[in-house]
Amino acid sequence: MLSLEAICKRFGDVEVLSGISIDIKKGDIVGLVGPNGSGKTTLINVVTGMHDADAGRVLYGGRDIIGLGSHHISRSGIARTFQNLRLFPRMTVLENVDAAQHGLPSYNLYQLMFGDREVDKNHRQKSEWALEQVGLVDERDRLAKTLPLPQLRRLEIARILARDPELVFLDEPAGGMTPAESEAMAMLIADRVTPGRTSIVIEHKINLIAQVCRRVCVLNAGILIADEKPDVVFSLPQVIEAYLGRRKVNA
């Protein structure tokens, strides 16, 4: 479904991505891990159209989507969350979830202005349902900026659910959460987000990756160094070395 071919990206003098190639099939649930600075978020940014790639192609449904612009890519069925948590702080929780649907192809300018009873009702129902799924129904009228972090992370998930994309990128969905909260988030993702949906999850928390994903790609310094099942990948020597550094050999 999504095919990354030899993606290269540099910022100034630094080569952040050096020829990344990953093939993702429909229904895959892929974890993307690697030390800080290995290029994970940049990779998502390139695929979702926020940055241009210096080289390589991204094939989605057979079409190269490099250079398309993030709103086109979003409208073709790819959604993402953000590592540093992006929401509309001055809108309510419900409005934030609604907002995720305003950009859908089902809305053109005329409908945005004048509304369409059927479409509007559908979307409102989806928003309510999404809030229910993540347990935020009681907070629906609160301004987003008054919510604590774990609830904001769940709001991001609600947005994804309401949007119902074919392909989703979750960028550190448990970022800043305690182990107990991460466990709850892992269950939420495994129960509601990934079933039947192609997903790519970036995380540092190995437990979450192990619980949610069926396949793990490891990035280090812009290069893909492993692509295996979760139980195999974390015992690979090159992966351990990437995280912990090379073991010093004394004579």
Partner 1 sequence: MSDYAVSIVSNMGMIAFIALSAYVLLVVGNISFGQQAYFGIGAYISGVVTAMWGWPLWLAIVLGCAVAGSAALVIGTLTLRLSGIYFAIATLSFAEMIRLGLLSVHVQVEIDGELVGPDGAEGFGDIRWIFENDVTPFEFMTIIYVLLIGVLMVLVWVERSRLGAVIRMVGGDPLLAQAQGIDVVFYRLLATVFAGIIAGLGGCLYAHFTTYIEPNVFNVMLGVHSLAYGLIGGLGTAFGPLIGVGLDIGFLEGIRVFQGYRMIVFGGLVAVLLIFMPRGILDEERVHRIKRWLERS
Partner 2 sequence: MVDFIQNCIDGVMIGAAYGLLAIGFTIVFGVMRRLNLSFGPSIMLGAFFGTWAFLTLNAAPWMVVIITITGTVITGIYVERLCFWAIRRDATIASMVSSFAVWMQLEEVAILMLPGRTYPFPEMFVSGGLNFGPFFFRAEHLTTLLIAVLMVVGIRLLLYRTAFGLALRAVSESPDAAKYMGVNPSRIIFWAFILVSLIGGVAGYLLLATDQQVTPYFGLWVTFKGLIAMMLGGMGSISGAVIGGLVLGIIETQTQWYLGNAFKDMSAYFVMFLVLVLRPGGLLGQGIVERHDLAFRRV
Residues making contact with partner 1 (CB under 8 A): 48, 50, 69-71, 74-75, 79-80, 82, 86-92, 95, 98-100, 102-105, 107, 109, 111-115, 141, 143, 159, 163
Nearest distance from C-beta of residue 73 to partner 2, angstroms: 16
Residue 222 and residue 39 in contact, taking contact as beta carbons nearer than 8 Å: yes
CA distances 161 to 68, 100, 190, Å, are 24, 9, 13
Cβ distance to partner 2 smaller for residue 11 or 72: 11
Q: Which does 112 bind (CB under 5 to 8 A by kind): partner 1, partner 2, none?
A: partner 1
Cβ distance to partner 1 smaller for residue 95 or 227: 95
Cβ distance to partner 1 smaller for residue 86 or 121: 86
Cβ distance to partner 1 smaller for residue 79 or 202: 79
Q: Which does 83 bind (CB under 5 to 8 A by kind): partner 1, partner 2, none?
A: none
Burial of 7 from C-beta contacts in 10 A (0-12 / 13-18 / 19+):
buried
d(CA 237, CA 249): 15
User: Position of tokens 């659910």?
Assistant: 161
Q: Which does 87 bind (CB under 5 to 8 A by kind): partner 2, partner 1, none?
A: partner 1
DSSP class of 243: H
Determine the 3-state secondary structure of 198 from DSSP: strand
Question: Which residues form the interface with partner 2 (CB under 8 A)?
Answer: 11, 50-51
Residue 89 and residue 143 in contact, taking contact as beta carbons nearer than 8 Å: yes
Nearest distance from C-beta of residue 155 to partner 1, angstroms: 13
d(CA 226, CA 200): 15
Nearest distance from C-beta of residue 28 to partner 1, angstroms: 22
Nearest distance from C-beta of residue 164 to partner 2, angstroms: 28
Cβ distance to partner 1 smaller for residue 94 or 239: 94
Cβ distance to partner 2 smaller for residue 52 or 64: 52
Q: Which does 63 bind (CB under 5 to 8 A by kind): partner 1, partner 2, none?
A: none
Identify the helix (H) or strand (E) that includes residue 249.
Answer: none
Nearest distance from C-beta of residue 86 to partner 2, angstroms: 11
Q: Which does 51 bind (CB under 5 to 8 A by kind): partner 2, partner 1, none?
A: partner 2
Residue 101 and residue 113 in contact, taking contact as beta carbons nearer than 8 Å: no
Token reading at 166 = 């074919």
Nearest distance from C-beta of residue 232 to partner 1, angstroms: 33
Residue 39 and residue 8 in contact, taking contact as beta carbons nearer than 8 Å: no
Nearest to 201, CA basis, from 47, 80, 36, 85: 80
Residue 46 and residue 57 in contact, taking contact as beta carbons nearer than 8 Å: no
